Amino acid sequence: MICYIAFSLIPFVSCSQKQNTETSTASVPVKRPGNLPDAEWKKVLSEEQYQVLRQKGTERAFTGKYWDYKKDGIYVCAGCGQELFASNTKFDSGTGWPSYWQPVNKKAVAFEEDQSYGMVRSEVHCSNCGGHLGHVFDDGPNPTGLRYCINSVSLEFVPKQEDKKEK
């Protein structure tokens, strides 16, 4: 519980760009190489995505498009399209950010110690493009006990495709 209180005191990024309130992704996210120069990231990402993914910003709690999203599918990196989290590992943490108890596989994410705001936390990055996703905490549910607290703006959602039966 202390994590929630301390984390809620952090100043959050505020962007002038309109908040995307769309609750579904109509198209498949673009796959990009992970090693784009900074000038290219500025061209392909929105201002808010750039602030979070490339400059380690944080969106305000309860404002992201996926914090309360409940459809079946895969959450991919908004920067490069790499698969990150499956919807069946998502849970309501009460924090206002999408939370997952594990990534799609161990190689999907990378970690870095974050000592900002007087705390020591484990920052989560996309292992392909290095984009900042959020943080991981050890107060999640079983089976892992982990809570990957991720910014919605760092993600895109790919809905589960229904099995098509051929006639």
Query: 17-20, long-range: CB within 8 Å, 24+ apart, which pairs?
Result: 17/46, 17/47, 17/48, 19/63, 20/65
Buried b (16+ CB within 10 A) or exposed e, 86-112: bbebbeebebbbbbbbbbbeeebbeee
Edge-to-edge strands of the sheet including 155-159? 83-86, 73-77, 155-159
E strand residue ranges, the chain: 73-77, 83-86, 90-91, 99-100, 109-114, 121-126, 132-137, 147-150, 155-159
- Told to judge if 77 belongs to the known catalytic residues of this protein, a careful annotator would answer no
- How distant is the alpha carbon of residue 32 from its chain centre? 17
**Which entry of 77, 126, 129, 149 is annotated as an active-site residue?**
149
Q: Which helix (H) or strand (E) is 8 found in, with range?
A: helix 2-8
Give catalytic residues, as residue numbers: 149
